[in-house]
């Protein structure tokens, strides 16, 4: 295959730009061509006719804000599109790959400093290359009684996950909500600090997000308006004790009652965290593989699912919840939760208590106790082969009726395209994050193509029913952005007005979230 180039640049001009980049960060920190560039490719290529979609032309790895500013000078001069990632592990949504083919990935994984942890006020300030594993290890090594809230895969970047509005499972699970303070480099090289960080010698940057005047932190989430180089997050004080509970229900239709029972407990803060209602297949995948139960074509038949669940002793729906706090509080809350769910016929309730510093063994359980894990990756073994996944992630109103409706919609379409319903619902306060993973064998072009078609159909169905995605793969960013079309796309018009003002040459992550700078607007909808 010929070499990928940024659009509109000749090979010779691009080589000059690469030389200048090497001058800015050192030759070993520019990845151009060769096998190393494979790390910036995404396994999901929904249109096999276009294998070059989302291919990077190079990657550049700065180690400091000054190096980032030097890169920006070069990118502006050459109109070189840069695609910013922190550690680039945004799997199921594009990994480290750029939306605009030929972009240079600006990879911040070398910026790995944990700049501050304050135990008294319970926060941390980190650079983009710091992973959840890193911060957790740092806290433990120093004996600090603080928890970090990990997302399902602990190896990702705190900055990357937070900017994508990722979520985890403790009471600090809403990562965008527990973020406080950012340092951002704009496309013109200007460096700003948000909120109280605007004080040149301040004391409260990680304590009070708004600051004085307009508040901009949210503007740099799921956008392409700047490069975030420092980010503050709040950490959870380690509770004196916690309890992990599971409630297994037998019938598909029990989803409705589970959600209806959970909502009031969530709203009155009896349950204070992102409890998870996990579908039977996802639960089973934690302890077995699909081929043990079924190896025919298409989605697993109901009879095979039933047999599997019975044999493994897991439910069609499995609610995982946790309670945190002093033992007296745990007991009181536990009694309330059990009383509420015992009303669901056939519900099986189990729970275990832990001291605040105890560590549960299972990956998902560890996430509830602020310990990063990689348990979620078991899913890739579910179907065997060279497993990969792409996710359908609509926001669901927190009602039993909506949850059933989304579940039925997803399951039916997934079966039509030959995929199992591998999903669950994570409880916000008034909404649920419904995540249904489409697991495919990346070596199988037909299956990959079917996954691609399925995602588009699922998104259309959801939109027709009044639902929208909270996050999508690169391939669907334009499609999703267009769905948020109130008043002929007023939201996207505002985003693109801002984009053109803060990034006139259009160099930062063109196409991210459907936001195209003037220079590249003709690329909307193309891959």
Cite the active site residues: 93, 470-471
Which residue from 42, 164, 174, 505 is in contact with ligand ADP, where contact means CB under 6 A?
164
Instruction: Specify whether the CB–CB gap between 219 and 194 falls below 8 A.
Output: no
The distance of Cα 383 from the centroid of its chain, to the nearest Å, equals: 22
Tell me phi and psi for residue 377, to 5 degrees: -75, -10
Binding span for ligand ADP by CB under 6 A among 24-32, 87-95, 205-213, 250-258: 87-95
| Distance (Å, whole) CA 72 – CA 70 | 5
Nearer to ligand ADP, 393 or 509 (CB): 509
Q: Name the E strands within 24-78.
A: 30-31, 58-60
Which residue from 21, 59, 85, 265 is in contact with ligand ADP, where contact means CB under 6 A?
85
Structure tokens at 198: 């605007």
Nearer to ligand ADP, 72 or 300 (CB): 72
Nearer to ligand ADP, 156 or 245 (CB): 156
Site for ligand ADP, residues 278 to 317, rule: CB under 6 A: none
Site for ligand ADP, residues 121 to 160, rule: CB under 6 A: 128, 156-157, 159-160
From residue 135, how far is each of 193, 252, 359, 454, 502 by CA, in Å?
22, 39, 17, 37, 32
For residue 229, give the H/E element and its range.
strand 227-234
Nearer to ligand ADP, 13 or 222 (CB): 222
Q: What is the DSSP string of 433-498?
A: EEEEEEEEETT-HHHHHHHHHHHHHHHHHHHHTT--BS---GGGHHHHHHHS-HHHHHHHHHHHHH
Binding span for ligand ADP by CB under 6 A among 22-30, 85-93, 186-194, 277-285: 85-93
State whether residue 170 is helix, strand or coil: coil
Position 512 contacts ligand ADP (CB under 6 A) = yes
Q: How far is the CB of 171 from ligand ADP (least distance, A)?
A: 21
| Distance (Å, whole) CA 104 – CA 514 | 18
Which residue from 61, 82, 90, 272 is in contact with ligand ADP, where contact means CB under 6 A?
90
Position 108 contacts ligand ADP (CB under 6 A) = yes
Position 84 contacts ligand ADP (CB under 6 A) = yes
Q: How far is the CB of 39 from ligand ADP (least distance, A)?
A: 12
From residue 250, how far is each of 161, 196, 306, 319 by CA, in Å?
34, 51, 10, 12
Nearer to ligand ADP, 231 or 259 (CB): 231
Instruction: Specify whether the CB–CB gap between 79 and 8 falls below 8 A.
Output: yes
Binding span for ligand ADP by CB under 6 A among 86-94, 201-209, 457-465, 490-498: 86-94
Annotate 265-302 with b (16+ C-beta within 10 A) or e (fewer): bbeeebbbbbbbbbbbbbbbbbebebeebbeeeebbee
Which residue from 56, 72, 87, 389 is in contact with ligand ADP, where contact means CB under 6 A?
87
Which residue from 75, 80, 105, 227 is in contact with ligand ADP, where contact means CB under 6 A?
227
Position 88 contacts ligand ADP (CB under 6 A) = yes
Nearer to ligand ADP, 85 or 259 (CB): 85
Would you tell me which residues interact with ligand ADP (CB under 6 A)?
Answer: 84-90, 96, 108, 128, 156-157, 159-161, 163-164, 227-228, 509, 512
């Amino acid at each position: 295959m010929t070499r990928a180039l940024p659009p509109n640049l000749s090979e010779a001009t691009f080589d000059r730009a690469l030389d200048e980049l090497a001058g800015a960060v050192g030759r070993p920190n520019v990845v151009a061509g060769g096998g190393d560039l494979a790390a910036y490719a995404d396994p999901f290529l929904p249109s096999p006719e276009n294998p070059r979609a989302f291919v990077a032309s190079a990657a550049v790895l700065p180690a400091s804000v000054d190096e980032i500013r030097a890169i920006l000078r070069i990118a502006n001069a050459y109109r070189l599109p840069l695609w910013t990632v922190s550690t680039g592990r945004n799997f199921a949504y594009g990994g480290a790959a750029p939306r605009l083919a030929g972009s240079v990935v600006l990879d911040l994984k070398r910026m790995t400093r944990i700049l501050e942890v304050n135990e008294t006020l319970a926060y941390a300030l980190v650079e983009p290359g710091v992973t959840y594993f890193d911060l957790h290890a740092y806290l433990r090594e120093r004996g600090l009684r603080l928890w970090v809230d990990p997302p399902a895969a602990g190896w990702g970047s705190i900055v990357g996950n937070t900017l994508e509005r990722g979520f985890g499972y403790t009471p600090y699970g809403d990562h965008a909500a527990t973020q406080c303070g950012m340092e951002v480099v704009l496309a013109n090289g200007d460096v700003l600090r948000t909120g109280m960080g605007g004080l040149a010698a301040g004391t409260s940057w990680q304590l009070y997000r708004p600051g004085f005047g307009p508040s901009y932190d949210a503007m740099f989430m799921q956008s392409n308006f700047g490069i975030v180089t420092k980010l503050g997050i709040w950490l959870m004080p380690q509770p004196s004790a916690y309890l992990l509970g599971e409630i297994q229900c037998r019938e598909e239709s029990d989803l409705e009652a589970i959600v209806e029972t959970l909502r009031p407990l969530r709203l009155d803060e009896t349950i204070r965290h992102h409890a998870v209602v996990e579908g039977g297949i996802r639960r089973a995948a934690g302890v077995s593989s699909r081929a043990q139960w079924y190896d025919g074509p298409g989605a697993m038949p109901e009879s095979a699912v039933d047999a599997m669940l019975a044999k493994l002793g897991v439910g069609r729906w499995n609610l995982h919840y946790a309670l945190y706090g002093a033992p007296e509080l745990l007991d009181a809350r536990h009694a309330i939760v059990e009383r509420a769910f015992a009303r669901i016929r056939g519900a099986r309730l189990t729970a275990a208590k832990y001291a605040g510093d105890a560590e549960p063994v299972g990956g998902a359980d560890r996430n509830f106790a602020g310990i990063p894990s990689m348990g979620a990756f078991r899913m890739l073994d579910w179907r065997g082969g060279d497993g990969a996944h792409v996710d359908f992630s609509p926001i669901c109103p927190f009602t039993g009726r909506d949850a059933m409706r989304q579940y039925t919609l997803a399951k039916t379409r997934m079966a039509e395209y030959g995929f199992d319903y591998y999903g669950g619902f994570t409880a916000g306060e008034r909404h649920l994050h419904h995540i249904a993973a489409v697991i495919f064998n990346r070596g199988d072009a037909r299956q990959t193509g079917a996954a691609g078609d399925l995602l588009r159909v699922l998104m259309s169905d959801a939109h027709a029913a009044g639902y929208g995605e909270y996050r999508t793969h690169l391939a669907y960013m334009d499609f999703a952005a267009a769905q948020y079309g109130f008043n002929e796309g007023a939201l996207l018009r505002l985003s693109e007005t801002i984009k053109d003002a803060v990034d006139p040459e259009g160099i930062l992550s063109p196409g991210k979230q459907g936001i195209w700078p003037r220079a590249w607007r003709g690329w909307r909808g193309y891959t």
